[in-house]
Amino acid sequence: MKDDFETLKLDHHDKHVIVVTLNRPHVANAINSKMMDELAALWTTLVNDVSELRCVVLTGAGKRAFSAGADLKEREGISVEEWRHQHAILERAVLAMQEFSVPIIAAVNGAAYGGGCELALLADFVYAARSARFALPEVTRGIIPGGSGTQNLPRVAGIARAKEIILTGRPFDVEEALSWGVVNRMCEDAQLLDDALATADQIAANAPIAVQQARLAMEATRMDNFRNAYIAEIKAYDVTVETADRTEGIQAFNEKRATRFKGH
């Protein structure tokens, strides 16, 4: 199994469970092009190890964040073509993770914003630290969620709640996430990884073929529709990429000032 990643750290809890850590703590585990590429490679590589692998725990390095989302410093000033090329890498990662056959538990240890929140939503379910916070703030930066957030948030939180979250871009805390169905369990910060691994161990102790088939049966309807729905999300996302508001949103973020959107 490939494990020589720059932005990801793999730890073998035992023969059947691994911990995958988003490993850019100096920038709140922001998702840059390299991490997108390595996430796509990770899920594709792990497919070859499903005979031994029975559960994955996905978390973030450090105490500050699970992931703050896309690395907007990397994105400032890039052309529309460069932006689309970068996003195509993310799309491969999203589809590879969504189609991965082994259960994934997201252990959200801090802020999960933007693409970080979308990564957590791509997992089978989420455990979160008491200090965790969530947001899909893309509309405040002139774009929309493009990592399947418009598809997966309504699935767990309901369409009306998802619209409120996505259309306002407003952050929400772990208690709200728990009550809305975004999070399965709230854990004490120091206990989060242990709690996630305890559940991973329970899953791994069960018959692996039965677990995979049960998961496949539960996912059947969504998996049939996911690709088409995600294509619709990307088409909507691409409209925003060509706008001046998208450029303004990134500049305002990096210049630490209020946005001045003009609707074009």
Q: Known catalytic residues? A: 118, 138
In single-letter form, the type of residue at position 39 comes to: L
CA distance 133 to 21: 18
Q: CA nearest 193: which of 64, 59, 56?
A: 59
d(C-alpha 76, C-alpha 258), whole Å: 16
Q: 């035992």: which residue's tokens?
A: 14
Instruction: Check residue 243 and report its DSSP letter.
Output: S
Between the two ends of the chain, the Cα-to-Cα distance in Å is 46
Query: Parallel, antiparallel, or unpaired: how do β-strands 133-135 and 111-113 relate?
Result: parallel
Report yes or no: 132 and 112 within 8 Å, Cβ to Cβ. Answer: yes
DSSP string computed for 116-137: HHHHHHHSSEEEEETT-EEE--
Q: Are the beta carbons of 67 and 113 closer than 8 angstroms?
A: yes
- Residue 36: C-alpha distances to residues 5, 89, 92, 189, 227 (Å): 11, 6, 8, 27, 19
* Among the listed residues 172, 140, 143, 139, the one whose alpha carbon sits nearest the alpha carbon of residue 156: 172
How far CA 4 is from CA of 7, 10, 25, 41, in Å, comes to: 9, 9, 18, 11
